[in-house]
Structure 1
Amino acid sequence: MSALDGKVALVVGVANEHSIATGCAQAFVDAGAEVALTYVNARAQSFVQPVADAVGAKLLLPLDVEAEGEMEAVFAAVQQKWGRVDILVHSIAYCPAEDLHGRVVDCSAKGFARAMDISVHSLIRMARLAEPLMTNGGAILTMTYYGGEKVVDHYNVMGPVKAALEGTLRALAVELGPKRIRVNALSPGPLQTRAGSGIAHFDALIDAARARAPEHIALTIADIGNVAVMLASNAARGVSGDITHIDGGLHVRA
């Protein structure tokens, strides 16, 4: 048997074939799961459809977390098709460019609120909708970054946002634990994704991370997906409220 045989996974956050969420979806399918994917809007659908076709996604649904009713519709569709969900991947984050590229001290209230709503509160909303569908327990995974623990140059306001995300996942782990729903975060090192490209000097950040990481490796979305499978599987029973770094050991360096 494969690690995820018979499990149903909802993966939110695929933007294109290079997304971390894509690596997770492919790894889940390779491990025996059936997957549902989402796309943020009609323009994005053309980039997500090839991923859905490649992984054999059983559902491909629109989900803009700022659009009223769309999140509820996604979970209703999953419930109608399978009656449950076993794995939820929350791999979305956003901050308006004018706030992302400026100092934290200059961040606007509107920009900060929007970044927190899309990047953090959406996880709370998804967990609330997933809870009644995780009838046999389940695994919720979100994506963070070392910039939520320490100040990383050019990561700016997304550092405080990821710190809030990490605090949120711990609270959710405690609240959902009695229902055998585990909540964990993956913390990948920098790698080339659409989300990463929005950060100033991102190529230099990748090069510096690879040079300083003990393994000196170039991370791939497949590396992230493989760890996601482990955390989503029954082999990770008892692991909850944790942050798993996938960065070649970079986070242990002073």
Structure 2
Amino acid sequence: MSPSHLPLAGKRGLIVGIANEHSIAYGCAKIMREQGAEVAITYLNEKAEKFVRPLAEGLAAPLILPLDVQADGQLEQVFAAIEETWGQIDFVVHSIAFCPMDDLHGRVTDCSRDGFLQAMRVSCYSFIEMARLAEPLMKNGGALITMSYHGADKVVENYNIMGPVKAALESTTRYMAHELGPKGIRVHTISPGPLKTRAASGIAHFDQLIDDAIARAPQNRLVDIEDVGNTCAFLASDAARALTGEVTYVDGGFNIMA
């Protein structure tokens, strides 16, 4: 297939959340680039830059920018750079989440106020902020895509406070899909099965969760970051123009099991 006929040819978007080559965000960036998109990439801080920059350069990213969503003004600077460079944007991939370890490993009942607010700030509210900044740049419509997990809908042992946080994120997806739909902006949540990423390593007894997913999923396998990337690329493409507001599971069917 020639470059001009690739599914995402001519589309440009921001991908947030790459930490290393095992990140879900990197799987999305890699597949979307292969399908013809230009991608702007962010890194959390100077420590992360040395891991992210080579990956971004390998994707020929024209913009490689620092972004800590908790730092005042940084998100606005990212979108200002996008507007200056491209003038508009077609998609945003939000693949970030955080919770202080003490709160992540404790009961929901015992979660601290500060821990809950920080988890919501990074994992959910930042998606709202990105949508608000992307909206005026999505002049021809577009797609906003975020990442959740089955623990948002069902109780998953040791997922703890991130379950309610991701549930809020999924609900936010539906409300923003309703609000932005008239402008041709679609909003999606992807819910991957467990993946061996750096972020997931913070979940207690994660290996047990992996084993359970393999045993119970109809496909009896783990998904990988390319599986998620393929779904993300589809949702950002014109082929998905009639889809919005949904949670799309990429988990080998695990979510359908009792």
Q: TM-score, normalised by structure 2?
A: 0.97
Equivalent in the alignment of 2:243? 239
C-alpha distance after superposition, 1:75-119 (max 9, x if no partner): 000111110010100101000001000000000011001100111
Equivalent in the alignment of 1:93? 97
The residue identity in structure 2 corresponding to 1:192 is: K
Q: How far 1:23 sits from its partner (Å)?
A: 0.4
Whether 2:10 is the aligned partner of 1:17: answer: no
Q: SS of the counterpart of 2:20?
A: coil
Indicate which of 205, 209, 217 corresponds to 1:205: 209
C-alpha distance after superposition, 1:56-84 (max 9, x if no partner): 21110000000000000000001111100
Q: SS of the counterpart of 1:45?
A: helix
C-alpha distance after superposition, 1:181-205 (max 9, x if no partner): 0000100000110110110111111
Equivalent in the alignment of 2:35? 31
Structure-1 separation of matches of 2:222 and 2:136: 39
CA contact (8 A) 1:9 1:28 kept: no
Q: TM-score, normalised by structure 1?
A: 0.99
Equivalent in the alignment of 2:109? 105
Structure-1 separation of matches of 2:225 and 2:13: 17
Gap runs ≥5 in structure 2: none
Count of aligned pairs: 254
Gap runs ≥5 in structure 1: none
Computed over aligned residues only, the root mean square deviation of the Cα atoms, in angstroms, reads 0.6
Equivalent in the alignment of 1:226? 230
User: Which moves more between the two structures, 210-219 or 16-25?
Assistant: 210-219
Structure-1 separation of matches of 2:210 and 2:52: 25
Structure-1 separation of matches of 2:110 and 2:17: 28
Write out the 4+ residue segments of structure 1 that deviate beyond 3 Å after TM superposition. none
Q: SS of the counterpart of 2:163?
A: helix
- Percent of aligned pairs sharing the same letter: 59
Q: How far 1:218 sits from its partner (Å)?
A: 2.4
Structure-2 separation of matches of 1:178 and 1:234: 16
The correspondence of residues 73-222 of structure 1 with structure 2, limited to 5 A, is 73-222=77-226
The residue identity in structure 1 corresponding to 2:168 is: A
